[in-house]
């Protein structure tokens, strides 16, 4: 894809997603995610009803009257988008591919974050960490992220979510908001999700296509696994094969639910032909 085409796509995504974040998501995002903690603001004279544990004894002794410390919430946050760029994300049979939906969701979240003066970073992963863009503020930084999301080419095809989560835990020592955006076609990440979730506020966004679950009835067809590159002839009319196909999806779905529930990770599930706007809004309102 040449530079002119990339910039055209960046502009189109910016117009669509920035409008959504300005008018819909920024307020919901603001109320859903709290600051890292409380920072000292000032001292003032003690008033009836104040918590006595907040009394500043040094200041009180100096002025011979009780004073209390006033704290305010730290509003500046750090958001990190952990984006699955494995080969299965190029799949899509309806309105768009998984990777196209992931790009739009990331743009909405990023614009919502900078509207609240937060930093945003991105970690691209396959079965390894492909690229890490450290958190920064500003529109210019977000547009760079969108360009990368549109044009990024992974060097590997597999999926290892645990590797990405471990990298995030090692890189970010202070609490951050993490969105793991993937089709979660992996069953080895539960422990890593629990470890990362002890320090960070994590949300898993599961993007799937209708035909990840339902085998299309098209007779004999050659199927290519995009991650392993293995090719197999499949009789899609076979009830046994349809059951096996759905069973594999259901096993990954059950593992996803178990991993999120055990680790306390928030979860959002979206299909490529559904509205991510409704799903994100419902989640933010539930948290708020």
pLDDT score at 72 = 56
CA distance 43 to 255: 50
Supply the DSSP symbol for 117: T
Q: How many residues are listed for the chain in this entry?
A: 288
3 state SS of 35: coil
User: What pLDDT score was predicted for residue 71?
Assistant: 65
Which homologous superfamily does the CATH classification assign to the domain defined by 3-32+76-287? Answer: von Willebrand factor, type A domain (3.40.50.410)
Residues of the chain with CATH 3.40.50.410: 3-32+76-287
Model pLDDT, residue 39: 56
Burial class (CB in 10 A: 0-12, 13-18, 19+), 54: middle
- Please, which pLDDT band fits residue 37 given cuts at 50, 70 and 90? low
pLDDT at 128: 97
What is the model's pLDDT at position 75? 62
Query: pLDDT, tens digit, for every residue of 160-172?
Result: 999 999 999 999 9
Q: Write down the pLDDT at residue 52.
A: 84
Global pTM reads 0.84
64 Ramachandran zone, left/alpha/beta (phi>0; psi -120 to 50): left
pLDDT, tens digit, 9 for 90 and up, residues 42-89: 788 888 888 888 899 998 998 899 988 876 555 678 999 999 999 999
pLDDT bin (cut points 50, 70, 90) of residue 138 is very high
- In the chain, the percentage of residues whose pLDDT exceeds 90 is 63
pLDDT band of residue 111 (cuts 50, 70, 90) is very high
Is 180's pLDDT higher than 70? yes
Q: How confident is the model at residue 188 (pLDDT cuts 50, 70, 90)?
A: very high
CA distance 184 to 212: 11
Report which of 250, 254, 244, 253 is spatially closest to residue 223, judged by C-alpha positions. Answer: 244
């Amino acid at each position: 894809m040449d530079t002119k085409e990339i910039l055209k796509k960046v502009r189109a995504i910016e117009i669509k997603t920035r409008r959504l974040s300005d008018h819909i998501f920024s307020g919901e995002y603001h109320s859903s995610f709290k600051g890292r903690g409380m920072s000292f603001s000032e001292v003032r004279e003690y008033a009836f009803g104040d918590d006595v544990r907040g009394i500043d004894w040094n200041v009180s002794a100096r002025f011979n009257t009780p004073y209390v410390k006033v704290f305010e919430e730290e509003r500046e946050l750090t958001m990190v988008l952990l984006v699955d760029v494995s080969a299965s994300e190029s799949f899509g049979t309806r309105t768009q591919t998984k990777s196209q939906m992931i790009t739009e969701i990331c743009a909405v979240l990023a614009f919502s974050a900078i509207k609240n003066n937060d930093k945003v970073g991105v970690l691209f992963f396959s079965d390894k960490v492909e690229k890490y863009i450290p958190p920064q503020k500003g529109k210019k930084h977000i547009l760079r992220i969108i360009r990368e999301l549109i044009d990024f080419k992974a060097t590997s095809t597999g999926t290892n979510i645990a590797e990405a989560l471990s990298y995030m835990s090692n890189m970010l020592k202070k609490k951050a908001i993490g969105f793991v955006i993937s089709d979660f076609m992996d069953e080895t990440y539960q422990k890593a999700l629990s470890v990362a979730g002890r320090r960070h506020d994590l949300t898993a966004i599961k993007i799937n296509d209708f035909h990840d679950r339902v085998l299309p009835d098209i007779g004999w067809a050659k199927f290519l696994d995009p991650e392993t590159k293995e090719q197999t002839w499949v009789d899609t009319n076979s009830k046994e094969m349809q059951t096996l196909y759905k069973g594999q999806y259901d096993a990954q779905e059950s593992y996803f639910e178990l991993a999120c529930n055990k680790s306390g990770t928030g979860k959002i599930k979206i299909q490529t032909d559904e509205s991510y706007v409704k799903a994100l809004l419902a989640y933010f309102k539930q948290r708020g």
